[in-house]
Amino acid sequence: MNFFDKLISSIERNQSLLYVNLDPDPEVYPPNFENEQGLGLVDDGKLVEEWYRWLKAIVEQTANLVCAYKLTLNTYLGLGLSGWHLLQQILDHIPSTIPVILDAKHADLNSASLFARMIFTEWGVDACTVSPYTGQDLVTPFLVYPNKAVFVLCATANPSANLLQEYPNPAHPLYLELVRATQTWGTPEQVGLEVGVMADMLARIRRQAPERLILVQGNSAEENDLTEQDDLIQILAAGLGADGAGLLLPLPPRLLQRGTVTEAVRSLRDAINDERLRVMQGSPSCDLWLPDVCFLENEPHRDLILQLYDIGCIMFGDHVQSSGEVLPYYIDLRRIISMPQIFHQIVGAYAEILQNLNFDRIAGIPYGSLPTATGLSLRLGRPMVFPRKEVKTYGAKRAIEGHFQSGELVVVVDDILITGNSVMKGAATLQAAGLRVEDIVVFIDHGRQVMERLTENGYRGHAVLSLDEISQTLYQANHISSQQFKLFQQHI
């Protein structure tokens, strides 16, 4: 299982976006440590043994409450040979179902290949942080391992870093140029971003990279404290992806000092999930403040298009369409029913169109659009029917399933409009039963003047997305090549 899938499974299983820093940090010593032990005993075997017992206990108390663990390499190396030993002990103790991120900030190009092989094949970690200033050449050796991932450090909350991060000016900062560059270094499953706990900066990065996983750096400072509701709301509103995920949040170190670690982590996890739900519903309990700077142009469906690409709904290669035509690409929307968060967004996009139309019932065209029609029926509180592809030779032998009255107005929903034949055939079946059809709403309009064909047959056509919009967005995001872009454009 690759890092991304392992992480998603961990998030869903534990219902958590929290990760824990598992570090022998003298600033966060175990409760039974005496202050005077400090750094003076780093080579003392008893101290390292105490660290092991404490870190092991943290794993045992949080394994069902967090989505990942992060270990800072230099903190362990600072303990000498004993620290190297401690690192391996902790790695061995972490459950295999929870991904491990090694915070190495690796920056040496000459040793990148050897380092990647050691941490990925010998240590078995799932992801690693890297420093970006040697460019894509540094990241490439890590991407040789297809099931692993890297997080590129692009912005920190350290105040003195602003001199570099905001260069040449806050409106066009260096860190956003870095984000743009990293989007060509690897897929969203391979390359994520590491960002400091700063809501305004996080919001700008999320706008620039809507599909990237963001690892928020741990910060023990009181500013932007995730245990404070207002700070938590700002961070979530700024950094969450459109699907309510895409953000890994650090557990505040002081929660690990408490005697009831489990309860403290569970309480924060639940608070995050409550606010996360409010943000996804578009009604956070307070407004997010953003600086008065120039943002990139907003594209309402960009996030959704990128997610469809990431989950494999858009494929290349010769594919036979339902009409019998062979196209050099294929758009498969059936897999969205297995991904509730994306499906929720798609239903919402349909609903934005339907709420401005006049109709009594919703009809889905079998079989691809039946889940969507069902979701819209539940979302809008309108009854649903659907025309059968073929009338059964047994049972009630109905051409239309569901209750309806002759003369009622039905809006028809379908997934992709290529020729218009299947949706108009479904509409004709509904009309033959005495229902009226005026509006047809599809998710993707393939183009090729099919909307005009609907108009010629007496229907008003509406679409959430056009194939042209999809191809333009993917090309601008460097997700498809110029050749693939031309394939789309040639068939619109």
Task: Write the burial class of residue 361 (CB in 10 Å: 0-12 exposed, 13-18 middle, 19+ buried).
Answer: buried
Quick one: DSSP state of residue 331? Answer: E
342 is in an annotated binding site: no
Written as one string, the DSSP assignment of 237-302 is HHH--TTS-SEEEEPPGGGGGSS-HHHHHHHHHHHHHHHHHHHHTT--SSPPP--S-PPPPP-TTH
388 is in an annotated binding site: yes
415 is in an annotated binding site: yes
Distance CA 226, CA 233 (A): 9
318 is in an annotated binding site: no
422 is in an annotated binding site: yes
Nearest 5°: phi and psi at 437?
-125, 120
Token couple for 46: 């008893």
113 is in an annotated binding site: no
Nearest to 472 by CA among 484, 460, 454: 484
129 is in an annotated binding site: no
480 is in an annotated binding site: no
439 is in an annotated binding site: no
List all residues 6 or more positions away from 468 whose beta carbon is below 8 Å from its beta carbon. Answer: 447, 488, 489, 492
Distance CA 124, CA 114 (A): 14
156 is in an annotated binding site: no
Contact indicator for 274, 283 with CB cutoff of 8 Å? no
419 is in an annotated binding site: yes
Distance CA 300, CA 323 (A): 31
- Give CA torsion, residues 338, 344, 348, 351, to 10 deg: 60
Long-range contact list for 155-159, CB < 8 A, 24+ apart?
A: 155/195, 155/196, 155/198, 155/201, 155/205, 156/195, 156/196, 156/217, 157/196, 157/197, 157/198, 157/217, 157/219, 157/221, 157/223, 157/224, 158/196
What positions carry a catalytic annotation?
105
Contact indicator for 360, 409 with CB cutoff of 8 Å? yes
62 is in an annotated binding site: no
Residues annotated in a binding site = 388-389, 392, 414-422
Residues annotated in a binding site for 5-phospho-alpha-D-ribose 1-diphosphate = 388-389, 392, 414-422
